[in-house]
Chain A
Amino acid sequence: MIRLDQVSFSYTDEQVSRPAVQDLSFTLEAGQMVVLLGPNGSGKSTLAWLIKGRLLPGKGKVIVDGLNTLDKNQRRQVQNLVGLVGPVPDHQFISNLVADDVAFGPQNLGLERAEINRRVDAALKMVSMEDYAQYPPYLLSGGQKQRVCLAGVLAMQPRYLILDEATSMLDPAGRQQVLEILAKLRQERKIGILLITQNLEEALLADRVAIMHQGRIAIDLPFRELAASPDLLKEYGMEEPPLLHMASLLKKHGLLPNHCFPDSLDQVVKALC
């Protein structure tokens, strides 16, 4: 389990100190998917880096499976347990060949070559990119690139996965592909997933939705509870996704039962017919 206890962190230079995260407490369990929403500058990426052990809390502590990121020896293990995928795929490629790029992480773990090859094959298959192993990454589409980045992290077999706006630069089809992979990872590998996004529609698959505001977790609720409170969303500058807005209108007019939270248009049609 990932646990943040009363964590604070500020970006400082010689003149100013800007608090990015303040007294933040948060948990993520293995096999759980939490969507983290919030406007730019609310501290979402800082939170991701604190969990990954790339930033250290000024106050409080970050514990990942019992390992404290403040401990230098334990931090290295934490960094291997937590995989982080960033928003721009082009900035995450290290090698000139998809297979070599996916192998980069396992190579750093010092694994046997046969094991590395096995992990590379499995990771590429997981993201349906096995046919592109010998391609240069820059020849791939945006969605394919992001899937390769995901494979690069999965090949390290992390227990937790953080996607920091990893779907923000993708078209709807590419975004859908990544979300389907995440659902599969969660079910089959019991990986704990923290999906940082600006898009509430991606929260449909999540167990919980957290909203960050000015460096704090302002809301941490199961998705259904949040979806049932559109005013709460508006309060934090979030727009209700069109599908949920339609569902709430249908409920208001008694056309849809109150317990129904559709995650696709097909479900709405089914409920109506």
Chain B
Amino acid sequence: MESAAHRWDARSKITAVVGLSISIIAASHWLQAAAAGLVILILLVLSCISWRYYLSNLHLLLILAAITSLLQLLVVPGRVIYTLAGVTLTWEGLLAGSWLLFRITGVLLLAAWLTFTTKPGELTAGLERLLAPLQFIRFPVQELVMIMTLSLRFLPLLAEEAQQIQRAQLIRGVNWSKGSLKQKGRYVVAFIVPLLRLSLQRAEDLAEAMENRGYQAGITRTRLYAQPLSRSDWVLIAVTGIVLMAQLL
């Protein structure tokens, strides 16, 4: 579904994600964190994407964040809440753990929001325009963005190749769940070497395909997504700016 968040320009969305991420990480007072959290919450609601979808895509990372926060809870010294089998929970640990969980969750949700509401092409085009001033110091912005585009293209391709190698190994009797550590090490090598070889082959194929369609490093390419920023884009940038400024107060 095309929501308001989907319609925003990638530049304003990238700015918002970077700005709000800095805000939430740098926040030292609960009011500052709450302001950033509230804006993130509004952005998520405006995306019209269900919470279930966000959670299903982030659940592994969120579990990892929860484990990291739990470690904070156990290792930070302070006023004791409870002691069990030599492990002490402290108020300071609880606070530090909660802060960490809040910050990681905020950043993960922002990253998910950006990728769920922006097409890959729009994302890279937005980044290209944001980084355009760097071209004055001869920074290869176009090439960098092309590398990003190709990396995004490569991910499903690599996953497919990895699956194929795994299937081929399975047919030849490789069982990852059995065998000694040394044997498993051998399996990993037997998996990584053909994957690397195939990746290089795919990279060559991709370079050929690009050249076949007229790509050359340094040529002037037309930007596909290059509409001017709308009023709502400016509102999003302004709100991000206000939240960011609030961290300095």
Binding site for B on A (CB under 8 A): 52, 54, 79-80, 84, 86, 88, 90-97, 100, 103-113, 116, 136, 138, 152-153, 156
Q: Is B211 within 8 A of A54, CB to CB?
A: yes
Q: How far is the CB of B4 from chain A (nearest CB, A)?
A: 19
A97-B221 contact given A91-B205, A156-B214, CB 8 Å threshold: no
Q: Across the interface, name the chain A residue whose C-beta is closest to B125.
A: A100
Q: Is B150 within 8 A of A107, CB to CB?
A: no
The reply on B184 being an interface residue by CB < 8 A is no
Give the secondary structure class of B's interface. helix
With a cutoff of 8 Å between Cβ atoms, the chain A residues found around residue B149 in the complex are: 94-95
A84, A100, A107: the one within 8 Å of B222 (CB): A107
Q: Is A97 within 8 A of B120, CB to CB?
A: yes
Binds A, one of B30-38, B91-99, B151-159, B168-176: B151-159
A-contact 0/1 string along B90-120, CB 8 Å cutoff: 0000000000000000000000000000011
With a cutoff of 8 Å between Cβ atoms, the chain B residues found around residue A156 in the complex are: 213-214
Q: Which B135-167 residues sit within 8 Å CB-CB of chain A?
A: 149-150, 152-153, 156-157, 160
Q: Across the interface, name the chain A residue whose C-beta is closest to B220.
A: A110
Among B212, B224, B226, find the residue whose CB has the most chain A CB atoms closer than 10 A. Answer: B212
B202, B205, B212, B220: the one within 8 Å of A84 (CB): B212
- Give the CA-CA distance A104 to B216 in the complex, in Å: 12
With a cutoff of 8 Å between Cβ atoms, the chain A residues found around residue B213 in the complex are: 94, 104-105, 108, 152-153, 156
- Give the CA-CA distance A111 to B120 in the complex, in Å: 21
Q: Across the interface, name the chain A residue whose C-beta is closest to B222.
A: A107
The reply on B61 being an interface residue by CB < 8 A is no
B121, B208, B222, B226: the one within 8 Å of A111 (CB): B222
With a cutoff of 8 Å between Cβ atoms, the chain A residues found around residue B156 in the complex are: 96, 136, 138
Q: Is B224 within 8 A of A138, CB to CB?
A: no
16 A-B pairs with C-beta separation under 8 A:
A90-B160, A91-B208, A93-B209, A94-B206, A95-B149, A95-B153, A96-B156, A97-B121, A105-B213, A107-B222, A108-B213, A110-B219, A113-B222, A136-B156, A138-B156, A156-B213
Q: Across the interface, name the chain A residue whose C-beta is closest to B160.
A: A138
Q: How far is the CB of A272 from chain B (nearest CB, A)?
A: 46
- Give the CA-CA distance A193 to B52 in the complex, in Å: 51
Q: Across the interface, name the chain B residue whose C-beta is closest to A84.
A: B212
The reply on B215 being an interface residue by CB < 8 A is yes
Q: Is A90 within 8 A of B157, CB to CB?
A: yes
A84, A86, A96, A113: the one within 8 Å of B153 (CB): A96
Q: Is B222 within 8 A of A110, CB to CB?
A: yes
Q: Is B219 within 8 A of A96, CB to CB?
A: no
- Give the CA-CA distance A75 to B120 in the complex, in Å: 32
Q: Is A95 within 8 A of B215, CB to CB?
A: no
With a cutoff of 8 Å between Cβ atoms, the chain B residues found around residue A95 in the complex are: 120-121, 149, 153
- Give the CA-CA distance A179 to B60 in the complex, in Å: 47
Q: Is A100 within 8 A of B206, CB to CB?
A: no
Q: How far is the CB of A224 from chain B (nearest CB, A)?
A: 33
The reply on B229 being an interface residue by CB < 8 A is no
- Give the CA-CA distance A116 to B223 in the complex, in Å: 10
The reply on B210 being an interface residue by CB < 8 A is yes
Q: Across the interface, name the chain B residue whose C-beta is closest to A108.
A: B214
With a cutoff of 8 Å between Cβ atoms, the chain A residues found around residue B206 in the complex are: 91, 94
Q: How far is the CB of B123 from chain A (nearest CB, A)?
A: 10
A84, A92, A103: the one within 8 Å of B224 (CB): A103
Q: Is A86 within 8 A of B209, CB to CB?
A: yes
Q: Across the interface, name the chain A residue whose C-beta is closest to B211.
A: A54
Q: Across the interface, name the chain A residue whose C-beta is closest to B153.
A: A96
With a cutoff of 8 Å between Cβ atoms, the chain A residues found around residue B212 in the complex are: 52, 54, 84, 86, 92, 153
Among A100, A111, A113, A116, find the residue whose CB has the most chain B CB atoms closer than 10 A. Answer: A100
- Give the CA-CA distance A103 to B149 in the complex, in Å: 14
- Give the CA-CA distance A153 to B210 in the complex, in Å: 11
With a cutoff of 8 Å between Cβ atoms, the chain A residues found around residue B226 in the complex are: 113
- Give the CA-CA distance A10 to B126 in the complex, in Å: 45
With a cutoff of 8 Å between Cβ atoms, the chain B residues found around residue A105 in the complex are: 213-214
With a cutoff of 8 Å between Cβ atoms, the chain A residues found around residue B119 in the complex are: 96-97, 100
Q: How far is the CB of A157 from chain B (nearest CB, A)?
A: 12
Seed contacts A91-B202, A94-B206, A109-B214; 14 additional CB < 8 Å A-B pairs: A84-B212, A86-B212, A95-B120, A96-B121, A96-B152, A96-B153, A100-B120, A104-B210, A104-B213, A105-B213, A107-B222, A111-B222, A116-B224, A136-B156
With a cutoff of 8 Å between Cβ atoms, the chain B residues found around residue A90 in the complex are: 157, 160
